[in-house]
Amino acid sequence: MPLKLPTIIGHRGAKAYAPENTIESIHTAADMGCKWVELDVKLTKDSVPIIMHDDDLDRTTNGHGPVAQITYADLCHLEAGSWFSESFSGIKIPTLEEAIEVILARDLGVNLEIKPCPGREKETAEAMLDHLSQFWDDRDRLLISSFSHVSLEIAAEMAEDWYRGLLLESDPIPNWLELADYLEVTTINIDGRTAEREFVEDILDTQRMILAYTINDPQLALQLRQWGVDAMFTDDPDAVNETLFKPH
């Protein structure tokens, strides 16, 4: 059975409307009608998987310094909402387990991106997959992706049955196809803002699904859909959905 993905996946929840990678952002995406969300997973100093994008705390919390140097106990004292808007002040960085509870409660699928701090590619994948295996069993509504080949290699070893996606930078590595074959990925996740049609067609030739990030321009979404892109990550599900699915 191929992976069934909706056309629109909420990026870090619904990042344009709520603080990214938070419980509130997941709820907002679900309230907007998203069937799937994308979230980033990192580790605290004491190896607790949390939902967080940056290597440093500064941009999205009132903390400072590297995520890899803060314990979970200290992380619990931080807040992760007021940088976005005062109405969100006081909200917390969720653990992977807390995020999954909400995803299950809201009946969502999820793309979890393994986003290791430098040097923690192996342990981040191991800790995430170990935790996830304890409370996730719906293979068809989960995609594990990463830019890190090491992390995807661990995923292939530890959770062979779960779908994997290879994330590519704006300037894709020349050996992307060899890597995709080696890691046995189901999806290739590309930067849809810079991708050219020829590259999209090259991926389509491999019979893999194409996911494009981060598409907030409705007209670009329309173009990518016409090229054959299967799904798009967006900060603004409402705007992109409205354009893609309005009667023409």
Residue 162: pLDDT over 70:
yes
Phi-psi region of 109 (alpha: psi -120 to 50; beta: other; left: phi over 0): beta
Q: Which residues neighbour 132 within 8 Å (Cβ) at sequence distance 6 or greater?
A: 96, 100, 112, 159
Q: Is 39 helix (H, G, I), strand (E, B) or coil?
A: strand
Amino acid letter for position 97: E
DSSP 158: H
Do 9 and 189 contact (CB within 8 A), yes or no?
no
Using pLDDT thresholds of 50, 70 and 90, give the confidence band for residue 128.
very high
| Mean pLDDT, residues 40-46 | 98
Catalytic residue among 11, 64, 77, 131: 11
Do 218 and 237 contact (CB within 8 A), yes or no?
no
Residue 1: pLDDT over 60:
no
Distance CA 207, CA 131 (A): 31
At residue 247, the pLDDT reads 60
Distance CA 166, CA 186 (A): 8
Domain at 8-243, CATH class? alpha beta
Cα–Cα nearest to 103, from 53, 141, 60, 154: 141
At residue 248, the pLDDT reads 52
- Residue 53 among the catalytic residues: yes
Higher pLDDT, residue 246 or 3: 3
Residues 186-212: tens digit of each pLDDT: 999 999 999 999 999 999 999 999 999
Do 241 and 29 contact (CB within 8 A), yes or no?
no
- Residue 27 among the catalytic residues: no
Considering the entire predicted model, what is its pTM? 0.96
* Percent over 70 (pLDDT), the chain: 99
Strand partners, 56: 66
| Mean pLDDT, residues 56-85 | 98
Radius of gyration, CA atoms only, the chain: 17
Phi-psi region of 118 (alpha: psi -120 to 50; beta: other; left: phi over 0): beta
